[in-house]
């Protein structure tokens, strides 16, 4: 008889059906450098990017998600990172206004898709990179600034959606979008249930870190190693969490908490500075 069995702490996690927008990386390459991950002098393999992206798409289909596709546009190699195309909540799409000229034409392309999909479209006044920097956690929106989205966009976001917006300042250029430093684990918590996150403490200013510590005392703390393969850049349905297959400690911690981590290799898309979440825009219609 074993007396030293670990106390079962596992909670029952419930998956919820998600609807996402993706963009096949048919024109993916790294031809400019707007984040430290990008090295235009190194070759990229577009067909490998498509194959890896397809594996992510297939996982989502297998999980029963509704997956919409936006047509890729030649000359916009970063369009595969659909998370940056806007922020959609309550059937309203708040459009993106990109920081760098290289990506600016993506804004109207995504807006057009939102309008065609029957969403109410809100033209952005302020610079923002959509769900790359805005994360819905329970009933609040965490909003990043420091590298891409202007903090004035946080105010605009609060006006558009009438939700509480909590501003967080990013300080490490390798984690330039909020979705590279925070993972939302519970997209649709039930009544009275708290939504949890995982994050990388060193990516935030002291003040922002204090906010995260206070609001999410039970958060998963990611290792620097896992963050360095964009492990936090993941997508959860409340039970299944699609993550970078190399993020081993994150995988272990998710399993311990009763989630079902599913690894995927997006190494080619990492050359552009993006992972699972970057390739995924949630459509909350």
- Count of residues binding ligand ARG (CB under 6 A)? 16
Per-residue mark of binding to ligand ARG, 124-163 (x: CB under 6 A): --------x-------------------------------
Q: Closer to ligand ARG by CB, 53 or 257: give it.
A: 53
Q: Which stretch binds ligand ARG (CB under 6 A): 9-17, 56-64, 172-180, 196-204?
A: 172-180
- Alpha carbons within 13 A on the beta-carbon side of 277: 26
Q: Closer to ligand ARG by CB, 180 or 234: give it.
A: 180
Q: Which stretch binds ligand ARG (CB under 6 A): 33-41, 64-72, 187-195, 207-215?
A: 33-41
- Is 177 considered catalytic here? yes
Q: Provide, rounded to whole angstroms, the least separation between the CB of residue 78 and ligand ARG.
A: 4
| Residue 268 makes contact with ligand ARG by CB under 6 A | no
Q: How far is CA 104 from CA 30, 77, 228, in A?
A: 16, 12, 27
CA gap 154, 60 in Å, rounded: 30
Q: Provide, rounded to whole angstroms, the least separation between the CB of residue 77 and ligand ARG.
A: 8
Residue of 23, 122, 154, 177 marked active site: 177
For tokens 């609807």, the residue is: 19
Q: Which stretch binds ligand ARG (CB under 6 A): 8-16, 39-47, 106-114, 270-278?
A: 270-278
Q: Are 265 and 231 in contact (CB under 8 A)?
A: no
Sole binder of ligand ARG in the list 44, 128, 153, 180 (CB under 6 A):
180
Q: Closer to ligand ARG by CB, 238 or 274: give it.
A: 274
Per-residue mark of binding to ligand ARG, 52-81 (x: CB under 6 A): --------------------------x--x
Q: 72 burial class (0-12, 13-18, 19+ CB within 10 angstroms)?
A: middle
Sole binder of ligand ARG in the list 20, 21, 34, 121 (CB under 6 A):
34
H helices of the chain, in order, are 46-62, 106-116, 151-161, 206-215, 224-227, 248-256, 267-270
Q: Closer to ligand ARG by CB, 222 or 257: give it.
A: 222
Q: Provide, rounded to whole angstroms, the least separation between the CB of residue 7 and ligand ARG.
A: 38
- Is 279 considered catalytic here? no
For tokens 């002098």, the residue is: 41
Distance of CA 22 to the CA centre of its chain: 12
Q: Are 266 and 275 in contact (CB under 8 A)?
A: yes
Find, among 175, 170, 280, 167, the residue nearest to 226 by Cα.
Answer: 175
Q: Is 90 left (phi over 0), alpha (psi -120 to 50) or beta?
A: left
Radius of gyration from C-alpha coordinates of the chain: 18
> Which residues of this protein are in contact with ligand ARG, per CB under 6 A?
34-35, 38, 78, 81, 83-84, 103, 132, 177, 179-180, 272-274, 278
Q: Which residues are catalytic?
A: 177, 278
């Amino acid at each position: 008889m074993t007396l030293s069995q670990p106390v079962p702490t596992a909670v029952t996690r419930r998956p919820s059906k998600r609807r996402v927008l993706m963009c096949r990386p048919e024109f993916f390459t790294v031809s400019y450098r707007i984040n430290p991950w990008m090295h235009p002098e190194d070759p990229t393999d577009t067909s490998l990017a498509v194959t890896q992206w397809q594996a992510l798409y297939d996982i989502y289909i297998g999980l029963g998600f509704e997956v919409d596709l936006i047509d890729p546009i030649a000359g916009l190699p970063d369009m595969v990172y659909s998370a940056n195309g806007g922020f959609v909540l309550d059937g309203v799409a708040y459009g993106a206004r990109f920081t760098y000229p290289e990506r600016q034409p993506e804004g109207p392309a995504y807006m057009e898709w939102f309008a065609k999909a029957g969403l109410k479209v809100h033209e952005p006044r302020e610079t923002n990179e959509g769900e790359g920097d805005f994360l819905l956690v329970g009933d609040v929106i965490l909003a990043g600034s420091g590298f891409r989205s202007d903090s004035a966009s946080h105010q605009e976001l609060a006006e558009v959606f009438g939700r509480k917006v909590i501003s967080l300042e990013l300080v490490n250029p390798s984690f330039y979008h909020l979705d590279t430093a925070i993972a939302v684990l519970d997209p649709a918590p039930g009544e009275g249930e708290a939504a949890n996150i995982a994050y990388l403490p060193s990516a935030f200013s002291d003040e922002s870190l204090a906010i995260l510590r206070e609001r999410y005392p039970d958060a998963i703390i990611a290792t620097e190693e896992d963050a360095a393969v964009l492990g936090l850049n993941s997508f959860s349905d409340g039970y299944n969490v699609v993550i970078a297959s190399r993020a081993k400690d994150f995988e272990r911690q998710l399993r311990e908490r009763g989630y079902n981590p599913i690894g995927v290799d997006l190494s080619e898309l990492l050359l552009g500075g993006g992972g699972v979440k970057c390739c995924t825009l949630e459509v909350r219609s």
